[in-house]
Structure 1
């Protein structure tokens, strides 16, 4: 239960935070958030199953609310508070704004650290070695690389660069970054020269921090690896912010894809060249024996997969038509593929084990003085290349070896891009994994988002996350304090066509100028790149000036949009679904939002097809059970772009009459923020 002392402490912190916020306005919604979150974490509703699904509308101050509710209890119970986000933007807001503010004014003794994946950091030792010995640089780097490396080294020495990819002082090509990034084999803590590499310095801060900020992918990877970075779940209170992304992040993490029509002779040749190099440099070393084993294992793997490659070559003309993918109905693989999946999973696993041992042999040889850095780096690059190839194969074949009878739990398909054929596997649900790794073990979990409900119900989120059977689960929906009806209107004009018509794009081109305003901040959201480009090309012929997603980086477009508005003019920004979330355009930066089409998922994507197939098999209606709830949630996110601050105002124009003409439309309309509605007859 939430003790009287804890209640008093949280209230006192709340008062201190209020006093420190300039122009603070009382927010009953935030008070409710703090109270309910604290009760969930303290176990007031259930002694051990402390889980909350919390939808907090824009402007409720949920970041400060969960810090006020969870951090005092985490410190009291000696638990680590882990905050997981889906976007870099929210991570930066937490680390650069919310947490420093809270640390300054809450009078609580805590430290916080942003935890990023190893590959987000440079290995300074490797960087310095490549500067001192340019011959170590991979041949595929351009001539400017040595000069760029020298500038990075200077920036590190002068503390103008933190040693990670996100704070680079200038743009660095991906190939150059790959040559200096930290990895678990080369940038190893056991070697004194690497003690001051950015990755190890960052990891050293974990033990002294009571709050750790991570992204969803790193959290899932750590849970799956048995907590190699973060504390054990039972020692943590988790806040999963942007929780509507967690199921998708889980599917991404637990899925696999691999190239099938690779050049097997080239793969084998790579192993043989590695053997020759080691034989020349370490003729009597045990690494030679391990490399011989690698040769044998790779030959076995290639011999096993070769018949599959031959069948693939013969049947690809039958499998691929107009679409660039072919999905296996009910996840049933061709007989040969299914028969060999277990063997390929086992063989690729043995290869990875062998590669790991070889890495260790090379490190030991360097430590013993038998290998110099000049010799070590090229060998490590070769091993890393092999490891990446076989890791992808292992993940795929492990997934493809899982039986799909009597219950189908995966989507499986092939994709073709130019001459490459890739195989894919994606779980239809990650509810079991999330429950097994996180929800059933954690001390407490708060899942927060501005859009967790769909059609005003938490049922969709409960099913996706695997929370339907949790006895202590609490749900809370806290509305935004914004005066929607006073500050904005949703306008649904009368149109001749619906988006399913072939004539809809032509009508968009015709009517869109009516609703654009050259003196305001405009954002037009499209459901497809193709349609956006068609409309943009036509409007430019009519002399409209547009900023179109894809024609420059996202940040460059937003900077230019802001500059035009703040310069006293107007701006028109065109974007697709990715611009409907995580885009913050407050005040005059956005007063006119136009949504061209309801954001239904593409029905031809292999994953969506497989999900629909599974629901149909169970006697359900995939359109009503999957497509409509998902689209409704995305539409709410899109409408959420308009009001970002209490004083904001504007209008939303939705050019999709299905909200009025279809039976599901009224439910979707009711789920939108409570703007005034103008529906033309």
Structure 2
């Protein structure tokens, strides 16, 4: 292959391999992906890394200088280890001490802990393709036979089973699954998701899935036996064995994903405290036709968090500005699986900022119904010039990209020239341009979506006015959320009050948190959604916000306002 040859994405793999190897050998790069000055393409990284099934461990000739084992040794020797949520969850699912220190002997501090429940749901969720799975299953059987032949491991038999046999069964089962999905899953028009309502699978889908599960387990066991034979053969032939081991090792995670998906799809829900969401996604296959993803996930990570973490860790501290929704810890404790722990101590600390003196929450007398997007957008356009007239640095947050673009397009030219809109450039560049304008004494208005409502630091004059165009309700259009709400409603409860309102409370608290970033900051939060001040659930949302001085209606912001308790 020509060194300059590019793959389908324009990446030149051989050139990348050469640069990485040269820098690593010269000691200019430690082997950590994040330590490389540019983003390493995923296709390149996948080619130069492996996981446990594809690794010879201490038998590898490069073991002594392997970045993974060096990092693991440093972690074992450290008194303080900093890791992200994903790594902690992965380590908790492994043998104690294999990646991180033994959690039973650790104090674990989770910052931004409000995201932990959704992280563990992602950790538990599983999916597999149907058509492309049949392709890699065939390749796995071929590569297994190639390894046996190249390394002269002998003939297939009881001590060395041929993975091609369960591979053929698995391909046949996947073919039956494809036919069953085609018959029982409806995709109207451009619809790409078909959810199994109530989690109930058609009999034909269930039978095909059971066959997939059985064959995938058998093939995985045969590949594991072959892997053991390869490792045993490594001895003085490690360099010959390692390429085959790495190739076969890449199939283990895929087989595990097949098994995990159908474990969830076929599980007996009477043995689980909460239901499982089950659905199929349609997408373009590699051959030009349709392929399908079979997907499953529990609706809550609480039970898994209890198993992985809370029943193991020596002690834990969970911190975040948004652990409470509408002023209560209840939703977070339920989602995180923390209810019922006698040693649990929820603690809400007062803000160090003087909200009563330095910040106003303004709810103008907006007449348009926010559910009428066109009329509401027109009223936002009418109100923004006056609302933004007195501030140099402002942040306007929208609940939908469409409304953001329509409002920006309809603004007067003078104000439009001051707007920096999310999507026109990277988030980093957007914020840099905004700060540069303010530093130059100019006016600057940021238009953004949910990602600008969290983790953005604009102290002082960079932001003295936060405007929320609409309460940030999300449309429950993903299968996981649909299943969760379906389950709540089936019990005669209100998904709106139990899920929608608390979720909006958290997002609104995150948005209003963009205003005061230091003790000297001051300003206004304006919410252009009259439901916040008019409805009983709007008052629930107010209880979860900092103690702003609240002004309701179209009155000057230096007026006394209404001294409502938040």
Shorter chain as denominator, the TM-score bin is 0.7 to 0.9
Aligned partner of 1:87 in structure 2 is none
Which residue of 398, 406, 410 corresponds with 1:526?
398
Match of 2:128 among 258, 270, 275: 258
- Measure the CA separation in 1 of the matches of 2:511 and 2:474: 14
2:396 aligns to what SS in structure 1? strand
Q: Deviations over 1:602-648 (max 9, x none)?
A: 22222222111111122211111111111111111111111111112
Given that 2:216 and 2:255 are in contact with CA atoms closer than 8 Å, whether structure 1 keeps it comes out as yes
Quote how far apart the aligned CAs of 1:218 are: 1.6
Query: What's the offset of the Cα at 1:539?
Result: 4.5
CA distance in 1, matches of 2:347, 2:310: 18
Distance 1:276 1:402, change over 3 A: closer
Q: Structure 1 residues 467-476 or 183-192, which shifts more?
A: 183-192
Q: Does 1:338 align with 2:211?
A: no
Matches of 2:8 and 2:227, distance apart in 1: 23
Give the distance between the partners of 2:363 and 2:418, measured in 1 at CA.
Answer: 25
> Aligned pair 1:497/2:362, yes or no?
no
Q: Secondary structure at the match of 1:481?
A: coil
Partner of 1:248: 118
Higher RCO structure (Cα 8 Å, ≥6 apart): 1
CA distance 1:326–1:238, change in 2 (3 Å): same
The TM-score, its normalising length taken from structure 1, stands at 0.73
TM-score, normalising length: structure 2: 0.86
Partner of residue 282, structure 2: 416
* Rounded Cα–Cα distance in structure 1 between residues aligned with 2:362 and 2:346: 32
Check conservation: 1:532, 1:574, Cα contact below 8 A. yes
RMSD of aligned C-alpha atoms? 3.2
Distance 1:571 1:531 in 2: 20
Q: CA offset at residue 510 of structure 1?
A: 4.0
Give the conservation status (yes or no) of the 8 Å contact 2:59–2:234: no
CA spacing shift, 1:143–1:410, aligned 2, 3 Å: closer
Match of 2:379 among 481, 486, 507: 507
1:658 to 1:420, Cα distance in 2 relative to 1, 3 A = farther
Structure 1 residues 550 and 175, CA gap change in structure 2 (3 angstroms)? farther
Can you list the C-alpha shifts for 1:287-343, whole angstroms capped at 9, x where unaligned? 899886221111111222322211222344x34456432221111111122234444
- Alignment length (residue pairs): 544
User: 2:57 aligns to what SS in structure 1?
Assistant: coil
Distance 1:555 1:609 in 2: 34
Give the aligned partner of residue 310 of structure 1.
179
- Classify 1:218/1:371 alpha carbon distance in 2 versus 1 (closer, same or farther; 3 Å): closer
- Distance in 2 (alpha carbons) for counterparts of 1:369 and 1:187: 11
8 A contact 2:125–2:298 mirrored in 1:
yes
Cα shift at 1:205: 0.7
How far did 1:598 drift?
Answer: 1.3
Match of 1:603 in 2: 476
Residue 324, structure 1, aligned to residue 196, structure 2: no
Note the 1:105-504 alignment, pairs <5 A.
144-156=12-24, 160-184=28-52, 185-186=54-55, 188-227=57-96, 228-262=98-132, 264=134, 266-275=135-144, 277-278=146-147, 280-285=149-154, 293-316=162-185, 318-320=186-188, 323-365=191-233, 367-369=235-237, 372=240, 379=244, 382-405=247-270, 409-418=275-284, 419-503=290-374, 504=376
CA distance in 2, matches of 1:578, 1:356: 43
Judging changes above 3 Å, is the alpha-carbon distance between structure 1 residues 478 and 417 closer, same or farther for their aligned structure 2 residues? Answer: same
Q: Distance in 2 between matches of 1:489 and 1:614?
A: 39
Shift of 1:213: 1.5
Structure 2 spans left out of the alignment, 5+ residues:
285-289, 555-566
Partner residue of 2:460 out of 577, 584, 587: 587
